[in-house]
Amino acid sequence: MSTLPPAPPLPPRVDLRSRILAGEVTIGAFVNLGSLAGAELTARAGFDWVIVDLEHGMGSEADLHAQLLAVQGTPTAALVRVASAERLRVGRALDMGADGLMIPRLESVAEVAETLTWMRFPPDGIRGVALPNRGGGYGEATHPDLHQRNARLTGVFQVESMTAVEASDALAAIDGVDVLFVGPADLSHSMGIPGRFDEPSFVAALDRVVAACRSAGKSAGILLKDASVLPPALAQGFTFVGVGSDSAFLAGGARAAVALARATIA
């Protein structure tokens, strides 16, 4: 009885982490509609990365596999914001093949360090080894390959409170924390200045995160309302920048179409 030869391995995914650590500016978007088509259309637009949002988005882990397939059929890196920092949620997203993770709601070095152990295979962490799943190339990965997978995994950790801002120097210094990503809305609310992004204290908090990342050779990230406000964010030192979401792009395009149509027939 003949034995079938192994399937040829697919080309490696884009190495987003090396670009981030080299200080390159990367531009991305959130995918929050829970839609395969929405994820694919966003990725095909040419972003460096998209983040499938399982914390605030409309999709669930049941929708994640299809969205990862849609994004990873393009050169765009597919990151996942997990619903919460739990070992099984982290492991499930990685086992489905995510190129990296965004972790919300962590504030201390101990919390971040523990979460990183769930993201990395031994000896760097305690991530469960399950090579036959998609994250292991359905068996194409070998045990000696796992250190390379650790090295390519992008780790984005959110800064959503002043506690996290004050810990930003220590957080940015941790190996595996590639991006400290400010959530402007949550941070402004935690500071008691909801939505007042021009307040000097808010700007100072952003500056502190940027300085921590620069000192550690990491990337400071932020979500903007759209690309029109990108220049000041870049001038401030942010290099991992989200410029919208699939839902915002759909809503904006629909509104623009209606406005143009009504202006034409008025």
CA distances from 239 to 218, 219, 242 (A): 9, 6, 10
Long-range contacts of 104-112 (CB under 8 A, 24+ apart): 104/55, 104/158, 104/160, 104/183, 105/158, 105/160, 106/157, 106/158, 106/164, 107/161, 107/163, 107/164, 107/167, 108/163, 108/167, 109/167, 109/170, 109/171, 109/174, 111/85, 112/157, 112/171, 112/174, 112/177
d(CA 132, CA 241): 34
CA distances from 245 to 8, 24, 32, 93, 252 (A): 35, 21, 7, 20, 10
d(CA 30, CA 94): 18
d(CA 84, CA 138): 26
Catalytic member of 56, 65, 143, 147: 56
Tell me the longest C-alpha to C-alpha distance in the chain.
76
**65 catalytic residue (yes or no):** no
Annotated active-site positions, please? 56
